[in-house]
Amino acid sequence: MLYNRTGNSGLLLPALSLGLWHSFGATSDHANKRALCRKAFDLGITHFDLANNYGPPAGSAEEALGEILATDFKNKRDELIISTKAGYHMWDGPYGEWGSRKYMIASLDQSLKRMNLPYVDIYYSHRFDPNTPLEETMGALAHAVQSGKALYVGISNYPAKQTRKAAKLLREMGTPCLIHQPRFNMLQQEPKEQGVFKAADEADMGVICFSPLGQGLLTSKYLNGIPEGSRATLGGFLKKDQITAPLVEKLRALNKLAEARGQTLAQMAIGWVLAHEEVTSALIGASRPEQIEDAVGALGNLKFTKVELGKISGLIAS
C-alpha cells in the first residue's frame, strides 16, 4: 500500500480506502462484511469510511463495523482511521438532517454509540446546508474535535465557493479542515471541472474521491450485460437504464486500453483518479473480497503517458 499525506496535515491515508455504504446493511451477510474488512486491512487499507445513514436500515453499517471492530480488530484501533458523516436524513422531525449544531452533535453521539467507539478519526459534514449559517455547521465540527469525539474534520459534496468559506472558518476556529470528499471518476469529473480540487488544494486540504469505479460501471462487470445481483439490479442509486448501449461501447473501448496497460478496467479507473495530484485516496466500495484485491492491483501501474490520457479523454468525451 502507498500512504499519502492528507493536505498539509500530519495524517497519512492509504491510496485506497474502503467505504461501507453498500454491502454492510442489516440484510447483507455478516461473514462477508468481516471478510471485506479483514481483506482490506491485510492489504494495507487502514481507512474505513462510514456515514450515519449507511445501511439499510440507516445506522446498520455503523453497527456492523462496531461488531467487526470488537471481534476482528481487537487492539487494532490505533492502526485504523474511521470516519463518519452527518448531513442526510437520519431521523424524523426537524432535527434529523442537514447542518444544524443540534443535528450534527446528536448524530455524532449516535454514531459513536452504534460503533461503540469513544471517538472517530474524521467527522464530516456530509453536504452543504444552504439554510444554516456555515459558521454554525463548522462550529459543530470544531466542537466535535474540542470535545474529543473526533480527531479531524472534513466536508463532503461541498461546492468550491463553500469549500473555501468552510476552510477559512475552520482555520479561524483552530480546527483546520483535513479533507474534502467529492465524487470523482472518469465518467463524473465535476470536482475537477467546477474548481473543487483547486479550492481544496489552495486550502491545504486533502481530497478523498468516492465512487472511483462509478459504482461498478468502470469495471468489467457490465461489458456484456447486467449480471443478476450486481448493484445495478438492486434498485439503489445505480439504475439499469443508465447502462445504455453507447455507454457500454465506451466502457469496452476503455477496457481495451486498460488491457494494453496490462490492467483491468477497475485498476485503470483507480489509477486514473490517483493520477490527479490533489487526490489523497480513492474511496472504493466492494461486494466481495476479490474486488479489493483487484483494486489494490491498481498500485502496480499508476503512471499514464500523455497519449494514454489523451485517449481516455477522447473516449469519455465521445
Ligand X SMILES: NC(=O)c1ccc[n+]([C@@H]2O[C@H](COP(=O)([O-])OP(=O)(O)OC[C@H]3O[C@@H](n4cnc5c(N)ncnc54)[C@H](OP(=O)(O)O)[C@@H]3O)[C@@H](O)[C@H]2O)c1
Which residues contact ligand X (rule: CB under 6 A)?
19-22, 49, 126, 156-157, 181, 210-216, 219, 221, 230-231, 266, 283-287, 291, 294-295
Q: What three-state secondary structure class fits 281?
A: strand
* Burial (CB count <10 Å: 0-12, 13-18, 19+), residue 40: buried
Q: Hey, what's the cell of 279?
A: 487526490
Q: Is 193 or 228 the residue whose CB approaches ligand X more closely?
A: 228
Q: Is 33 or 231 the residue whose CB approaches ligand X more closely?
A: 231
* Burial (CB count <10 Å: 0-12, 13-18, 19+), residue 312: buried
Q: How far is the CB of 224 from ligand X (least distance, A)?
A: 12
Q: How far is the CB of 237 from ligand X (least distance, A)?
A: 8
In one-letter notation, the amino acid at residue 130 is: P
Q: Is 25 or 216 the residue whose CB approaches ligand X more closely?
A: 216
Q: Which of 175, 209, 173 is nearest to 192 (CA)?
A: 209
Q: Hey, what's the cell of 107?
A: 448524530
Q: How far apart are CA 80 and CA 151, in angstroms?
A: 12
Residues 6+ apart with CB under 8 A from 245: none
Q: Is 106 or 284 the residue whose CB approaches ligand X more closely?
A: 284
Q: Is 113 or 288 the residue whose CB approaches ligand X more closely?
A: 288
Q: How far is the CB of 133 from ligand X (least distance, A)?
A: 22
Q: How far is the CB of 101 from ligand X (least distance, A)?
A: 21
Q: Is 145 or 284 the residue whose CB approaches ligand X more closely?
A: 284
207 phi/psi in degrees, rounded to 5: -135, 125
Q: How far is the CB of 52 from ligand X (least distance, A)?
A: 12
Q: How far apart are CA 198 and CA 179, in angstroms?
A: 13
- Contact yes or no for 217/243 (Cβ under 8 A): yes
Q: How far is the CB of 295 from ligand X (least distance, A)?
A: 6
Q: How far is the CB of 266 from ligand X (least distance, A)?
A: 4
Q: Is 14 or 214 the residue whose CB approaches ligand X more closely?
A: 214
Q: H helices of 20-100, where?
A: 30-42, 60-72
Q: How far apart are CA 261 and CA 231, in angstroms?
A: 27
Residue with cell string 466492494: 286
Q: How far is the CB of 17 from ligand X (least distance, A)?
A: 8
Q: Is 53 or 132 the residue whose CB approaches ligand X more closely?
A: 53
Peptide bond preceding 57 in cis form (omega within 30 of 0):
yes
Q: How far apart are CA 183 and CA 159, in angstroms?
A: 11
